Structure 1
Amino acid sequence: MKISTKGRYGLTIMMALAEHYGKGPLALKVIAEKHNLSEHYLEQLIAPLRNAGLVNSIRGAYGGYVLASEPHEITTADIIRVLEGPIRPVEIMDDDDPAKRELWIKIRDAVKGVLDNTTLADLISFDKDDHTQDPYMFYI
């Protein structure tokens, strides 16, 4: 499974709303300008997020969007599933030999585990931390 721009930009929207959580609605125009993205494209992405109950829209001159739940209650899996569909890195076939089938299942479960256990709160706190001195950075 390759995460498309739908998933990547959807995470961008949701992270921006998480950072703004509790401060009122945030307009897509502000997010688009800050991240140099198409406002029109973000409008297409926000509709399924709203329909899935992840965001609420606020109408009016000072309207925009807010998270429907607290940032620690929304997982990255929630967002990716809405925008990308089921989390399946590899289509598991009935005629796969058992060793390959087991490998595909392990890969799927690992990806699902990371996405299911990473919340918007995790992402925005990671984003605020200084990770320039990562002790596990390797250069080849």
Structure 2
Amino acid sequence: MKISTKGRYGIRLMLSLALHYDKGTLALKSIAREQDISEKYLEQIINPLTKSGLVKSYRGAQGGYILTREPKDITIGEVLRILEGSLSPVDCVDNPMCPNSDTCVSLSIWKKMKEALDDVVDNISLADMAEEYKEKNHIEI
């Protein structure tokens, strides 16, 4: 499983929103500057996050983006699935109609890999990431 640039940058975008959660909306331009990511690319990433309901956008001079739930209630897995789709290492894990599923010995390996990955990403919240970010960057919590 290889996470694309879209997924990696999406996690960084969501981290910025988590770090600023109690301060109101955050402009995409500020996120781009903070994360050193092209604003144009962030525009493409923010759309599915907004459509999914994880992020809300506000227009106007004081506009920007804000998380719709507390950072502790949004997991990395949720964000990655919105941006990347399935986190399965191979398609047959998600395809129960595979004609070889009854006899395929490698299928159990792929399922275990998916379960392990899901276990990791579904147990790390944006709040966890924000806390680690603050620790690594010596920011008061």
Partner of 2:63: 63
TM-score (norm 1): 0.87
Over residues 90-115 of structure 1, what are the superposed CA-to-partner deviations in whole Å (9 max), with x where a residue is unaligned? 23364365431111110010001111
Unaligned runs of 5+ in 2: 93-97
Structure 1 residue aligned with 2:85: 85
Equivalence for 2:53: 53
CA contact (8 A) 1:90 1:108 kept: no
The TM-score normalised by the length of structure 2 is 0.86
User: Is 1:129 the equivalent of 2:132?
Assistant: no
Structure 2 counterpart of 1:76, which letter? I
Offset at residue 12 of structure 1 (A): 0.7
Pick from 120, 129, 132 the counterpart of residue 114 of structure 1.
120
User: Aligned runs of 1:21-40 on 2, under 5 Å?
Assistant: 21-40=21-40
Q: Which runs of 4+ in 1 moved over 6 A?
A: none
2-side partners of 1:6 and 1:117: how far apart? 21
Q: Which is worse superposed, 100-109 or 85-94?
A: 85-94
Q: Given that residues 13 and 35 in structure 2 are in contact (C-alpha distance below 8 angstroms), is that contact kept between their aligned partners in structure 1?
A: no
The residue type paired with residue 118 of structure 1 is I
Distance 1:94 1:127, change over 3 A: farther
Moved more, 86-95 or 33-42: 86-95
Q: State whether residues 81 and 87 of structure 1, in contact with CA within 8 Å, keep that contact through their aligned partners in structure 2.
A: yes
Percent of aligned pairs sharing the same letter:
48
**Residue equivalent to 1:104:** 110
The Cα RMSD (Å) is 1.6
Which residue in 2 is equivalent to 1:138? none
Q: Say whether residues 1:95 and 2:100 are aligned partners.
A: yes
Q: Number of matched residues?
A: 131
Structure 1: which 5+ runs fail to align?
132-140
Instruction: Give 1:103's aligned amino acid.
Output: I
Determine helix, strand or coil for the equivalent of 1:56.
strand
**Distance of 1:15 and 1:52 partners within structure 2:** 17
CA distance in 1, matches of 2:99, 2:123: 29
Preserved contact between residue 75 and residue 115 of structure 1 (Cα < 8 Å): yes
In the TM superposition, residue 130 of structure 1 has moved relative to its aligned partner by 4.1
Superposition deviation, residue 25 in structure 1: 0.5
